[in-house]
């Protein structure tokens, strides 16, 4: 491991981030990039029989400063087929068509997504994102408040609903494995999918500290309650990240 690529540790049904209410503002109001192209995908890892049978998934990349409650949400579609090595060398992404977006006002450049893409890679699906600043830098320089559009939930989000990232940046890929927006994590109707799975990537100073697959364990759609299922390969290099 070179400090930028991580295979992580195998986790066995570790429960993380339990919260039953309040996760509406920040996730859906907050800072939302608002590109909604959609994504029809086969299973995240087609070798997993439990996911294989669903046939399609819908994915959303969410890059965020969890400790500050800032979220940038993107959805995308039109799957491609390429061979991607998750190794921190992004030359193999050059032939993959990417979606881009303009700089978002008042969002720190380290968490403002500039480009994103996805592609089938052998038996897997690979995801790519690039920010305007430095990926997973987590230097704690920025102080950004969650907008008070829903003041009932603001205090809960700041103090309880979102886990403390301890100065790290966190990226999420939310995955709808059953192609049903009414199941899984869905904090409001503005959220594009019902996320049954998620990839969580945590890092600081450009280095990945943890990369893992989560399974939604909530009893209601807005409950931030996940179980760690397994590790997943991820890598960063400057502005870019792949998983």
More confident: 17 or 229: 229
Q: Which pLDDT does position 216 carry in this prediction?
A: 94
Mean pLDDT check: name the lowest of 47-56, 62-71, 107-116: 47-56
Contact, 233 vs 211, CB < 8 A?
yes
Q: 60 pLDDT band (50/70/90 cuts)?
A: low
pLDDT digits (tens, 9 = 90+) for 39-50: 333 333 333 433
Please give the structure tokens belonging to residue 177.
């494995």
Mean pLDDT, rounded, for 8-30: 33
Q: Quickly count: other Cβ atoms within 10 Å of residue 5's Cβ.
A: 20
Contact, 236 vs 6, CB < 8 A?
no
User: In the predicted model, is pLDDT for residue 88 greater than 50?
Assistant: yes
Q: How far is CA 150 from its chain centroid?
A: 23
The alpha-helical segments, DSSP class H, found in the chain are 49-52, 151-156
User: In the predicted model, is pLDDT for residue 67 greater than 70?
Assistant: no
pLDDT digits (tens, 9 = 90+) for 97-110: 888 888 888 778 88
Please give the model's pTM, rounded to 2 decimal places.
0.68
How many angstroms separate the CA atoms of 167 and 70, rounded? 13
Torsion of CA 34, 38, 41, 43, to 10 degrees: 50
Q: 61 pLDDT band (50/70/90 cuts)?
A: low
Q: Are strands 35-36 and 70-75 parallel, antiparallel or unpaired?
A: parallel
Mean of the per-residue pLDDT values of the chain:
67
More confident: 72 or 233: 233
How many angstroms separate the CA atoms of 225 and 55, rounded? 25
């Amino acid at each position: 491991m070179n400090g930028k690529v991580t295979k992580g540790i195998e986790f066995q049904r570790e429960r993380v981030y339990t919260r039953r209410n309040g996760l509406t503002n920040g996730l859906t109001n907050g800072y939302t990039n608002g590109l909604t192209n959609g994504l029809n995908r086969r299973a995240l890892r087609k070798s997993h029989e439990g996911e294989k049978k669903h046939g399609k998934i819908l994915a959303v990349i969410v890059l965020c400063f969890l400790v500050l409650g800032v979220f940038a949400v993107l959805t995308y579609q039109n799957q491609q087929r390429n061979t991607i090595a998750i190794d921190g060398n992004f030359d193999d992404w050059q032939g993959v068509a990417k979606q881009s977006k303009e700089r978002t006002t008042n969002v720190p450049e380290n968490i403002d997504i500039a480009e994103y893409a996805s592609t089938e890679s052998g038996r897997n699906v690979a995801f790519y994102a690039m920010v305007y600043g430095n990926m997973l830098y987590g230097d704690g320089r920025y102080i950004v408040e969650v907008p008070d559009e829903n003041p009932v939930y603001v205090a809960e989000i700041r103090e309880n609903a979102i886990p403390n990232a301890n100065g790290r940046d966190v990226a999420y890929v939310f995955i709808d494995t059953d192609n049903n927006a009414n199941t899984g994590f869905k904090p409001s109707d503005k959220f594009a999918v019902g996320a049954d799975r998620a990839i969580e990537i945590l890092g600081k100073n450009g280095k990945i500290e943890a990369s893992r697959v989560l399974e939604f364990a909530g009893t209601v759609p807005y409950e931030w309650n996940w179980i760690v299922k397994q590790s997943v390969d991820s890598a960063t290099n400057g502005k870019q990240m792949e998983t």
